[in-house]
Amino acid sequence: MKGKFTLKDLPYLLAEKSDNELYTLAEKARRETLRFFGRTIKLYAPLYLSSYCRNSCAYCNFNATLDTRRNRLNIKEALHEANVLNRQGIKHILLVSGEDPDHISVDYLQGLIAKLKEKFASVSIEVQPLETEEYKTLARAGLDGLTVYQETYNRKVYEQVHRHGQKKDYDWRFYTPDRGGQAGLREISIGFLLGLADWRQEALALAEHADFLIKKYWRSQISISFPRITRISHSYSPPYPVKERDLIQLIIALRLTFPHVDLTLSTRERPELRDKLIGVGITRMSAGSCTVPGGYSETLKASEGQFDIEDTRSIEKVSASIDKAGYEPVFKDWEAI
Ligand code: SF4
């Protein structure tokens, strides 16, 4: 088996493998991860700002057509939530919201980001896709990163699961990372939602997308996440459920194809799996997450979360697991000067 892999090798890496073959590739992935990232796992936490959304993605609890109890934090409440995370050591924060500019506007984000940068080393957003100029405005306020998942690269499936709102427009979403790159954002995270279409086909499309972005926006760090539909509260069954073994193979394949790219695994996955993947390819994890706007403070209004969390451990417990695996949990790896 060859030592180095490129995009051309991805079909081979994604093809059916025996347990022995997968184990050998996992060891290679472990060595590559160690070579580029050392024994470290970066930690961050999401901060949900609002569950109001104009779209109706079939797989999401914030879907506008559902009778969901919703909430939107004002800036004071959002800062209160952020402080709860900050006191537990979190220095990298991801602001998440449903896609509704009436509830989460660029002005709102601008004010909030500027305030958060007084306490956090980096602030990223996962909100409605914006124009390049709007990303530039937020970058001036201190925004570091953008997360935007294409959900599926299969246009037919995309059309079936995104029936209303601006998200219907595949191309508008597809070119969002480009607009972030043009705005000079330091980090851009992409991914697809595992479960909507054949994961091997999706992985090939994602890898081409990542390769293009890495080459074109070389000043930005491109990273890849693996959001997998495990279970959600309302009735939606993913048409192409992805097994844990498939997820592991996907992570190994992308690590070997892109040895220098951060790979992120969220609390959608169960603790045992997350612990097993420390060092195999994953370099970044969320911890102590809550997908309910206002969910970190006991005083704020109760509403519903976007999806159920599988790893409900505290930030402290996730850190301890990383430590036990012989890796260092990293809360801060960046500071703007
Ligand atoms: S996935 Fe995002 S855009 Fe779609 S309904 Fe949920 S919050 Fe809205």
What is the Å distance from ligand 1's center to 41 Cα?
28
Beta-ladder partners of 124:
94, 145
What SS3 class is residue 55?
coil
For residue range 176-185, what is the model confidence (pLDDT) as tens digits? Answer: 999 999 999 9
Q: In percent, how much of the chain has pLDDT > 70?
A: 96
At residue 299, the pLDDT reads: 65
What is the Å distance from ligand 1's center to 56 Cα?
7
DSSP assignment, residue 288? S
State the DSSP H helix or E strand holding residue 47, giving kind and residue range, or none if neither: strand 40-50
At residue 267, the pLDDT reads: 94
What SS3 class is residue 289?
coil
Q: Whose CA is nearest to atom 7 of ligand 1?
A: 98
What is the Å distance from ligand 1's center to 127 Cα?
9
DSSP assignment, residue 160? H
Please state, in angstroms and rounded to a whole number, the distance separating the CA atoms of residues 2 and 5. 7
Q: Which of 51, 56, 57 to probe ligand 1 with, by most ligand atoms within 8 A of CB? A: 57
CB count in 10 Å sphere of residue 18:
8
**Does the C-beta of 60 come closer than 6 Å to ligand 1?**
yes
Which atom, in ligand 1's list, is nearest to the CA of 51?
Answer: 7
State the DSSP H helix or E strand holding residue 128, giving kind and residue range, or none if neither: none
Beta-ladder partners of 263:
224
In the chain the first and final C-alpha atoms are separated, in Å, by 44
Which atom, in ligand 1's list, is nearest to the CA of 54?
Answer: 8
At residue 335, the pLDDT reads: 75
Residues contacting 269, CB < 8 A, separation 6+: 228, 230, 247, 310, 311
Residues contacting 53, CB < 8 A, separation 6+: 60, 62, 63, 64, 98, 99, 100, 165
Q: 148 pLDDT band (50/70/90 cuts)?
A: very high
**Residue among 289, 291, 196, 197 nearest 236 (CA):** 196
Length of the chain: 337
For residue range 158-173, what is the model confidence (pLDDT) as tens digits? Answer: 999 999 999 999 999 9
Region 7-329: CATH code: 3.20.20.70
Model confidence, pTM: 0.96
For residue range 307-321, what is the model confidence (pLDDT) as tens digits? Answer: 788 999 999 999 999
**Does the C-beta of 189 come closer than 6 Å to ligand 1?**
no
At residue 302, the pLDDT reads: 63
**Does the C-beta of 99 come closer than 6 Å to ligand 1?**
yes
Kindly state the tokens that stand for 264.
Answer: 């992120």
* Per-chain mean pLDDT for the chain: 94
Helix axes 244-257, 199-216, angle to 10 degrees: 30
Please state, in angstroms and rounded to a whole number, the distance separating the CA atoms of residues 94 and 190. 14
Cβ burial, residue 50 (10 Å; 0-12/13-18/19+): buried
Q: 132 pLDDT band (50/70/90 cuts)?
A: very high
**Does the C-beta of 193 come closer than 6 Å to ligand 1?**
no
At residue 230, the pLDDT reads: 79
Average pLDDT over residues 67-75: 92
Residue 233 reports pLDDT greater than 70: no
Average pLDDT over residues 128-144: 98
CB count in 10 Å sphere of residue 120:
22
- Between 12 and 333, where is the model more confident? 12
